Amino acid sequence: MNVKQLLDLTGRVAIITGGSVGLGRQMAEGLAEMGANLVLCARKKERCVQTAEEMGKFGVKTMALGCDVKNAAGIQEVVDATLSQFGRVDILINNAGASWGAPVEEMRLEHWNKVIETNLTGTFLFSQAVGKVMITQRRGKIINIASVAGLHGAPPEFQAIGYHASKGGVISFTRDLACKWGIHNIQVNAIAPGWFPTHMSEVVIERNKEAILKRIPLGRFGRNHDLKGAAVFLSSDASDFVTGHVLVVDGGQTA
């Protein structure tokens, strides 16, 4: 195969959680540009409907569904609907995420639980449901969206310990699942983005813009296409010998 063939996703079916906005939308667009059919799901279905319609311009089939990644029954409904429509699931991108800012000594349990359940438990539940399909298929790609926050601590001005803990958990989960499911020809990898302006990060970036940029060797934030290549690579045949890896996309922040 040549490189274009290795990266071609024509006819593949991808489920992307939180795929209607932000990083999820960016990755959805990248996969659609390479020919993948999309199933976009999030708590706010109306956003998914709009994004799915817009992705149709790439000539791919799309489906929009409402789903809370903390709800196992709702996740199974998404998987069942995907199989009913497409008959297969080739790619899962666990992108849905949440954060909560508060000093550690003031963090309320309900807020800690919300972040852990969305970011870590949701990743487990969706991987479990889709993994059963991929095991039967004898192939599949699972991409978990971690963060550089899962690789190191942060100064006191960045108070989001639940987010850091959950993303560290996602990284460990990715590596262990890769070891467990390699025998089924399922590649499990993670992407750890650095600072990208999104709805979830915009307030923190606005308050700490200069301090953050000083820590990034490239001197800028992530752009609205900087994750596309990473997502396509890990979704495609080009990454068939890559599993248990954390692909950092952070402008050199962790270097």
**Cβ burial 224-239 (10 Å sphere, 16+ → b, else e):** eebbbebbbbbbbebb
pLDDT digits (tens, 9 = 90+) for 11-27: 999 999 999 999 999 99
Q: Are 52 and 81 in contact (CB under 8 A)?
A: no
User: What's the mean pLDDT in 149-178?
Assistant: 94
Q: Write the CB contacts of 160 (distance below 8 Å, at least 6 apart in sequence).
A: 99, 100, 101, 149, 154
pLDDT digits (tens, 9 = 90+) for 140-163: 999 999 999 999 998 888 889 999
Q: Are 118 and 98 in contact (CB under 8 A)?
A: yes
Which of 45 and 199 is assigned the larger pLDDT?
A: 45
Strands (E), the chain: 13-17, 37-42, 62-66, 91-94, 140-145, 186-193, 246-249
Cα of 100 vs its chain's centroid, Å: 18
Amino acid at 63: M
pLDDT digits (tens, 9 = 90+) for 180-226: 999 999 999 999 999 998 877 778 888 888 999 999 999 999 999 99
pTM of the model: 0.96
Residue 188 backbone phi and psi in degrees, to 5: -120, 115
Which entry of 86, 124, 126, 163 is annotated as an active-site residue? Answer: 163
Per-residue pLDDT at 159: 87
pLDDT digits (tens, 9 = 90+) for 48-95: 999 999 999 999 999 999 999 999 999 999 999 999 999 999 999 999
Domains of the chain: 3-249 (3.40.50.720)
* 30 annotated active-site: no
Amino acid at 14: A
Amino acid at 173: F
Per-residue pLDDT at 153: 92
Beta-ladder partners of 42: 66
Per-residue pLDDT at 234: 98
Per-residue pLDDT at 204: 84
Per-residue pLDDT at 2: 97
pLDDT digits (tens, 9 = 90+) for 87-128: 999 999 999 999 999 999 999 999 999 999 999 999 999 999
Amino acid at 157: E
Q: Are 148 and 248 in contact (CB under 8 A)?
A: yes
